[in-house]
Each structure stands twice: as C-alpha cells, then as structure tokens.
Amino acid sequence: RDRRRGERSRSRSRERARRRSRSPSSKRQRRSPSRRRGVSRSKSRRPRRRSRTPERVPPTSFPDYEPAPDGSGWYVYKKTGKWKYHPETGLYLHIKSSVYYIQKEGDAKSFRKIEDEDDPTIRKMKQSEEMRKAIQSTEFVQFDENSSGQAAGSEDGDGAPPRPPAAVTAPPPLPSEASVGVGPAPRPPAPEPRREEQAAGEAKSEGKVREWNAEKGFGFIVPLGKEGEEANKSIFVHLWNVVGSTHSNPINLREGARVQYKLGEQDGRARAMEVVMLGKDGKPLPVHAGAQTLEEKRKSYYVTAESLGVRVHAESWPGKQLELRDRFTSDEPMDELGVYFGAFDGHGGAQVSEIAAKQLHKNILAQFRQKQVQPASRDEKIKVAVREAFSQTDKEILGLSERKKFDQSGSTALVALLHGNPKLGTALRLVLAHVGDSRAVLCRAGQAVAVSEDHKPDRLDEKKRIERAGGLVLNVRGAWRIAAPANPRGASKASRREYQGLAMTRSLGDLCFKQPTALSSADPEVKILPISDKDLFLVLATDGIYNVLSNQEVVDCAGKHWDDPEEAAKNIVRTAFQKGSDENLTALVIQFGWADKHTPKYLERRRAMAAQGVDGGSPTLKPAVASKIAPADDMFSSSTGVEKDDFDMFS
C-alpha cells in the first residue's frame, strides 16, 4: 500500500512537471541567459533605429517629366510631383526638402547632394531663371489698326514703305553656360525681311474647324476658298500644333471656329501647323497672342549657311562602280542652333545611306530640343545629344532592315555641325561626329589637319574592343576585316564555318555584325573644336578619295579654288578618279567666308612650302597605289590634267 501511494505521488508530480513545461510562462523562465541579455535595456545593447531621412535617388527618365507651368525652365515629375529637373544644368530638386542633387561624373546611378547655395551649378540655374523671367516680362510693341493696315499693304499713301516704331526686345531664353572656344567675331544681325516677303514665304491659309475631339486632342479643318467656300478635303490638326497649347494649358479648338494655319506634312500625311483661332475682326484671339509673338521672335534668330557666310558644295560620282551608294546632306538649317552637313558611304546597297542622309539631322535636332540644347550650351550636353541621335537612327535602320531584308547593308556617317549663332553673340564651334572610315580634314592656314580618325580594324583600341566582345580581326589578302559567321544557324558544320568580313569597326546598319554579338558599333566619336580666323575650309569625303590622296593633297586640290566650292569639290573628285580610285567618290567642301581676306596669304605660303618639297600636312596611311604617284604631278599646276585620261566625267 505504501508503494502504491508513492507511485501515485510520483505520477502526479510528473504530470505537474509536464503541464509546467507546456505553459508559456515556463518558457519565458527557462529562456537562456544569452537571450535574456538580448532584451536588456542597456543603451550599449539597444538596437539602432533606421534613419528617418534615407538617401534619395531622383528618377532619371526624362519622358516622365513635363514642363513646369510657371515657365521657369524646370520639369516636374509627372508620377509623384515630388521631384523637379532642370535640363540646362542637370540639377534635380526634391520639392519637399528643397535639396538639390546632381549626377556624379562617370557614374550615372550615383548622385551628389548640393547644400551650398554658392555652388557654380546653382548659380547657373538661378541666372537662367532670371533670364527667363526677364523674357516673360518683356513688353512687345502693339500696332494699332492703321499701322497694321499699312503693314499689310506694305506701302503708305506716298508710296514709301512703312517704318515700324523702334522697340527694345530681349533675346530668347538661353542657358547661362559660357561658350567654349573662340570662333569668328559675331556679326551684326541680318536686317529683318519685309512683311510681304514673310507672308509669301509662310503661305498661311484660312479654314474652319469641322470637328474637334477634346478628349483625344485632335480634329479636322476644312480649308476655305477665296470667297469663303468650304473645300471637300479635310486637314488633320493635333493639339500640339495649336499655337500656345502646352501640357499644363491645352488650347482646344471650337467646332465651327475660323482658323488660320500653315500647311505642313508629318509621317507622310498633310497636317495643319501653327494653328490660331481668329476673331470677328480677323485677328488671332488673345489666347494665342503671347505665344505667337514669342514664336515669331524665335524664328527671327534662325540661321542658314548663307546668313553665316558659309559657301558649300557637294560632288558625288559612282567612279568605276556600277552603283552610286554614297549620299550626302548639304547645308541643312538647324533653326537657331546652326547648320548641318553630312556624308554617308553605303556598302552592300544604298538603303542605309539613304535613310541616314534623310533622318539623322532630324533626330539630332529632336535630341537638341529634348535636352534643351542652346547655341551656348556646354560641350558635354551637345555630345550626349548627338550620341543618342546616332543610336536612335541606328535602331530605326535595324528595325527596317529586318522587315525589308537589307540586313547585309550598312553605311558610314560623317557629320559636321557649325553650332552657334552670331545673331545672339555666341561664337561658332565645329561639332564633328563620325562612324566608319569617311574622314573630315580642316584647312588651317593652308595646312591639312585631320579632325577625325578612321574606324578601321587595324586601329589598336578598336581591335581590342572587338576581341573583348568575342569577335575576330583578320588580315584577308592584305586588308584588315572584322570576321563574323555568315550562317551561325547553318545545318552543316561547313556552313557554320563560313565567315563574312567588314572593313570598318563602327557603322550604321550592318545587322549581321550587331546580332547576336555587337561587333560593329553605332556609337560615334564626337569632337567639338573652336573655329579661328586661320581655319579656311573643311572637307568631308568618303574613303574613295583618301584611298589615293593624302590629307594634304585633298586640301591642296580644294585650295586651288578657295572662293568657289563647286570647282573645289569637282577638282578633288576628278583628281582622285585620275589617280585610279575604284570606289564611289564623294567630297563636300565647306568654305568659311569670314576668312576670305586671309586665305590668299596662307595659300601662297603653302605654295612656297610645296615648291621647297616640304609637306606640312597631317600623316595618313595610304595603300601602295598612292605611293606610286609620279612626283612630277603638281597639285598647284595651272593645267587640270584632263588630257591624261581619255574620259572626263565633267566634260
């Protein structure tokens, strides 16, 4: 009996122990000493709290920003409204904390916080804002009905042209960046054209709004005849073609309203541009007045090759080839930002060079507008815009080449831009960008200066880049080539071992050398050079010229006709043809008119050096055919040498 009692008591104690082990209080009591030390309230053991102000990273996608409604030059982040971006200086502003950020050099993902108000970048931003405020507060001259009627008639009663009252106006908004490089001295602005000439050039028409969709932001205009009769054909108009319409303040057209517009074209279809609604008196409504005045003022600062004093001519000939694959773009105006020139040497067909000649300058201007490049913008901003324009053009070409089956075609691209605006007091700079082996040579005081370096496979840095990407650089029969598989997905091993070659390391197009491995690149080398009075002219030419002529020989050919760009270009092409070039021949000569008074002196000095046997030109690599030229050929002789060949392409 005592044993049973003892066993029952021991079983009860074990049961109580099991219950205690299951209770949460016992778990807390049996917690290890180290864990008890973990919850100590000692300050040294207290876990650190996270900072309430973490490092902020501004959003960098420019399409996600829209212009601020106050016209200060800032762009507001559309998604949250917490950030602002200033394209002219590259500043980001966190609105709530009023802290500025800027990207670190060489690292696009890291940002530097600017807390000093005396920072040079912040000073530039404030100067830019002050300039914009001054422009917005400028009072423009308002003409009364009598003066406007006289201007429309272009003559007073006595037959003399009307004189508008003098007005002091400020220049258009410009960034406060200092112009880099010393160019020719700015010349006074050209006189304003007469009003009747402007009206004839713009050729504005009147119409009536037939339909307008406010939600989608577009509609159609019916042109009106001379007697107010409506035409059967309608013209498309978009919200952004209405003068004064912005993201923050859209101007919707009223159905049935009378409008004035300029007929344009976009994406291959007719479109109404610069649309303004007219009142009962036939004048634009006040909602368009301010923007229309600023637009006309901005257009008055547009420049052309003629207004800059530049003479230009391009000569292109197929030479001994059956097809002319070279293309060029001559003196294309870039609004108030300068004048554009380009030379393109196509291979495998003319499709890529044709597209590049028509589209590249448009993409460059679009990138300038997107990044708000001004005539006095810093060099780095211009370089970024040009590189992105090349990349955009190459993507468009590659997309078309897949659909239209010209993936074996490509082209070089050599672009020169006279960037600046003497009307605004900014010096001219020479912006050069190129991919491929077309070359730009500048005549400086009679001497040849190569301002671009060919992208050839035997160039050391280009060869290393291709080999790091997994490509091959081979010497095929004395010529260096990039090698890429011709049939990477071929059925047999022999077909997969077939290779195709490319004689340049950078180009537009050439899909087979960019996919699946990017051996050829469309990223251009961009140089920005100041222009001085010693710079006489610039020559852009394809490799068909430089295969048989050195840089100095090209300059000497053009120097014989320093005041006639057409004869200078023809002389270059003719000489290269007579030297035995078997490629297409294209030369574009750009003569700087402001250097005319010094040109004869420099060229005479160059002739004296040539008579002494001194070649002051820049070194160049030429094939063996160029070294076999007889020394008796004098580039400065009076005879053109046409008699040496039975066939003259210019006869």
> How far is residue 152's CA from residue 173's CA, in Å, rounded to a whole number?
30
- Tokens 């880049």, located at residue: 465
Tens of pLDDT, residues 174-185 = 444 433 343 444
- Start-to-end C-alpha separation, the chain: 141
CA neighbor of 369 nearest in space, from 388, 344, 355: 388
- Tokens 């917005």, located at residue: 136
Tens of pLDDT, residues 286-308 = 777 666 556 677 778 888 888 89
Predicted local confidence at residue 183, as pLDDT? 43
Tens of pLDDT, residues 205-218 = 888 898 898 888 88
Among 232-241, 374-383, 415-424, 612-621, name the one with the lowest average pLDDT.
612-621
CA neighbor of 383 nearest in space, from 451, 344, 434: 434
- pLDDT category of residue 651 using cuts at 50, 70 and 90: very low
Give start and end residues of each alpha helix (H) in 309-451. Answer: 351-370, 379-404
Whether the Cβ atoms of residue 195 and residue 143 lie closer than 8 Å to each other: no
Q: Which three-class secondary structure state does DSSP give residue 587?
A: strand
Predicted local confidence at residue 361, as pLDDT? 93
* Single pTM value for the model: 0.57
Determine phi and psi for 581, rounding to 5 degrees. Answer: -65, 135
Q: What is the DSSP letter of 645?
A: S
**Average pLDDT of the segment spanning 421-442:** 91
> How far is residue 447's CA from residue 445's CA, in Å, rounded to a whole number?
6
Tens of pLDDT, residues 75-132 = 888 888 888 888 878 888 998 888 898 888 767 678 888 877 778 888 888 877 777 6
**Average pLDDT of the segment spanning 311-322:** 91
Regarding beta strands 107-114 and 99-104, do their DSSP bridges make them parallel or antiparallel, or are they unpaired? antiparallel
**Average pLDDT of the segment spanning 407-434:** 90
Question: Domains, the chain, ranges and CATH?
Answer: 62-130 (no CATH), 205-224+232-291 (2.40.50.140), 305-455+507-612 (3.60.40.10), 456-503 (no CATH)
Query: Strands of 479-485's sheet, edge to edge?
Result: 472-476, 479-485, 499-502
Among 165-174, 342-351, 578-587, 612-621, name the one with the lowest average pLDDT.
165-174
**Average pLDDT of the segment spanning 432-458:** 91
**Average pLDDT of the segment spanning 165-171:** 40
> How far is residue 620's CA from residue 630's CA, in Å, rounded to a whole number?
18
What is the CA 639 to chain-centroid distance, rounded? 43
Among 93-102, 140-149, 540-549, name the one with the lowest average pLDDT.
140-149
> How far is residue 548's CA from residue 624's CA, in Å, rounded to a whole number?
9
Predicted local confidence at residue 356, as pLDDT? 93
In the predicted model, what is the mean pLDDT of the chain? Answer: 77
Residue 143: pLDDT over 90: no
Predicted local confidence at residue 180, as pLDDT? 39
Q: Is the dihedral of CA 483, 486, 488, 490 positive or negative?
A: negative
Residue 593: pLDDT over 80: yes
